[in-house]
Homo-oligomer: A and B are copies of this chain.
Amino acid sequence: MDRNQNIEKRILWVAERLFLEKGFSGTSTTEIAKAVGCNQALIHYYFRTKEKLFWDVFSPKVEQVVECLDAPLDENIGFFDRVRNIIDFYFGMLELDERLAPFIVNELIMHPARWEKFRERYLQSESRSSAFNRFELMVEEESAKGTIRNVLPIDILLNVMSLCISTFIMAPMGYARGECDSSTRKEYLTHRKQDVTELIINGLMPPRQ
C-alpha cells in the first residue's frame, strides 16, 4: 500500500497476498520481488529462505482459522444460540477473506508436516483454550438434561469447521452454474450458511422416541 513503508513489512504484505492466491509452490521469490518492486536478493536478505517467509505468513493464518472457533464469548444466552453464534462468527471470518479456507486446506494437504507444530497446541487437552473447556461443560450439561443428543464437543466443532470450510472450497463450482457474478456468489454463500446452521442445530436435537 504505502510506498514508503518499511520494506520488510511490504515484502510480508505482498507475500501474503501471493501465497494466499497461488500457494507456496505456485509462488516464486522472484515474483514476490517483482510485485514489491525490489530485487529478489532482498527477499532472502530479510527472510533468509522462502520457507521462513512462508511460515511468517502461514502461522498467523492457522491461528486465526483454528482459534476463531473459540471467539464468540460468554453472553448470557442458551446453548443453541451459543452454537448459532459460533457458526455465524466462524462463517463470517471465512467470508471476510474467501482465499483463507482454500489456502489453509491446501497447505494441510500438501505439507502435513507443517502442522506438527500446531498439533501440540491444539490437541493436547492441557493446552486447550478456556473457551473450549467452557463449551465442553455446556455440552455435558445439555447432554445430562437430555436437551441434545449424545455427542462429543469436539465433534460438534469438527462438523462446524468442515461444513463452513467446505462451503468456500466448493464455491468455485457452487456459485458458477454458468456465470460467476457476485450476486450469484452472495446468494450461494447465504444459502449454504443457512443450511449448515439448520443442519447443525437440528442435528443436535435428541432423537425422538
Contact = CB atoms under 8 A, between A and B. Distances in A.
Interface of A: 23, 25-26, 102, 105-106, 108-110, 112, 115, 119, 123-124, 149, 151-152, 155, 158-159, 161-163, 165-167, 169-170, 172-174, 176-177, 192, 195-196, 198-200, 202-205, 207-208
Given A112-B172, A169-B108, A170-B162, A119 B177 contact: yes
A75 to B, nearest CB: 24
Nearest to A201: B203
Nearest to A207: B202
Contacts of A105: 105, 109, 169
Given A106-B106, A109-B102, A155 B195 contact: yes
Contact of A205 (B25, B108, B155, B205): B205
Contacts of A167: 162
A208 B207 CA distance: 11
Given A112-B172, A205-B202, A205-B208, A195 B119 contact: no
B170 A158 contact: yes
Given A108-B170, A151-B195, A202-B205, 12 more contacts: A102-B109, A109-B169, A158-B192, A159-B196, A159-B199, A162-B162, A162-B167, A163-B163, A199-B199, A199-B203, A202-B204, A203-B203
A125 to B, nearest CB: 9
A119 B165 CA distance: 21
Given A155-B195, A162-B163, A119 B173 contact: yes
A124 B152 CA distance: 39
A207 B203 CA distance: 10
Contact of A172 (B115, B162, B205): B115
A115 B162 contact: no
A166 B204 CA distance: 19
